[in-house]
Amino acid sequence: MALIKAIVVAAALCAAVSPVRAEVRILASPGGQVGPFLDLFERLRASGERVVIDGPCLSACTLVLSTVPNERICVTRRAVLGFHGARSIDRRGRMYAEPEASQAVLEAYPEPVRKWISRRGGLTSRMLLLRGRELAAIYPSCR
């Protein structure tokens, strides 16, 4: 019990001495519908919180790059960004490409990401994975 009290006191002292830096950690996101991601990332942008990408951030998850300021995004060794062209599903459940939406998404990404995607053929039905040294050249490592 004394050890628990000591840890609580130490944590309280650290909080009083240094400001707490709030962050959101993306551990694994396969993506999904764009609307909810845009809403979430807009709230994150307004909150001032830092975003730590610490695993796969695929498809709609990558919209964080066009919503949250670059200086508030960092990546870990486990980070992987996955990009593909926009697509929709018709009433019969068939998927089809949305080239205009893909172009709008591409233009919204930061310039280094746009250039990386363009060098690999642009946003198509094929998933492009940005990770490792290429990702570390664009976004800082988290501390």
Residue of 49, 67, 70 whose CA lies nearest to 138: 70
Q: Which helix (H) or strand (E) holds 57?
A: strand 56-58
**CB-based burial label for 61 (10 Å; 0-12, 13-18, 19+):** buried
Q: What is the average pLDDT score of the chain?
A: 87
- What's the CA gap between 78 and 74, in Å, rounded? 12
Q: Where are the domains of the chain?
A: 21-136
For residue range 46-101, what is the model confidence (pLDDT) as tens digits? 999 999 999 999 999 999 999 999 999 999 999 999 999 999 989 999 999 999 99
